[in-house]
Structure 1
């Protein structure tokens, strides 16, 4: 396998938010894409270090997008964002986040790398590893590094995000079927 300097596989404490891995969605009227916001704990220095190196590699590989001059990182859009600063959301506190998307569906597997078929198994709030591919862009005057979504490996369940609740938390078992009478 060729070593891709622009690719990162996140650590096991990564959490999925705004998960759209089963069906593509249009965001702000754009082309339909599979997408996820990847929450990376600020303590996960290994993953964050890998992301920094991959972003640097994407800038190097995409120099033509920047007029063949290395851009100042403050002058371009970067994919790694600070949840404490940019989101007023408890789930993002203490995390960096990256929005990753793709026009092709990700493969979604379990801890044993077996395909997950039950769509309710993977959701916003569960933990997983995500394959991320960084690339340079220059579109309509916007320049920077974006993040493509590769594959997803679910590691463990987590508190659902976005108000999702389980039916077992909302309902009780009915003792009889007298209500049909």
Structure 2
């Protein structure tokens, strides 16, 4: 069994701002299946950025020939989960919170749990909202 502490694909994000929080009820976009989701806004100078890039490289190396069919990691046909906030600002200039950030969207069909700084489960999920600062796993 793999040691969870050494799993290169598991990232615990430092504190960062969240946007588009849908953890109380799942949301569906453009006729997709409803999912719970949150977008993490990560400052470009955060040490989390390199750890996320390393996890992406690890996932790619483990699946290069199978899932990714030998395409290079730089291929525009491969979707990169770490996106530049500048892309959002080009289309939506009013979303100033994306300025100077990368972003990662986390989504799941199962409802995530939320915990406070004392590691107590947050039962009222209205306490976690777009604009607040959170950590993510």
**TM-score normalized by structure 1?**
0.66
Aligned equivalent of 1:92, options 92, 98, 102: 98
Distance in 1 (CA, whole Å) between partners of 2:99 and 2:86 is 5
Q: Report the structure, 1 or 2, having the larger strand content.
A: 1
**TM-score normalized by structure 2?**
0.86
- Structure 1 residues 46-61: aligned runs within 5 Å: 46-61=47-62
- Structure 1 residues 38-53: aligned runs within 5 Å: 38-44=40-46, 46-53=47-54
Match of 2:129 in 1: 123
Bigger relative CO (Cα 8 Å, ≥ 6 apart): 2
What runs of 5+ residues in structure 1 fail to find an aligned partner? 132-181
Greater Rg over alpha carbons, structure: 1
What runs of 5+ residues in structure 2 fail to find an aligned partner? none
Q: How far is 1:7 from its partner?
A: 1.4
The alignment covers a number of residue pairs equal to 128
Aligned equivalent of 1:11, options 8, 14, 17: 14
Distance in 2 (CA, whole Å) between partners of 1:83 and 1:66 is 25
Q: How far is 1:70 from its partner?
A: 5.3
Following TM superposition, where does structure 1 have runs of at least 4 consecutive aligned residues deviating by more than 4 angstroms? none
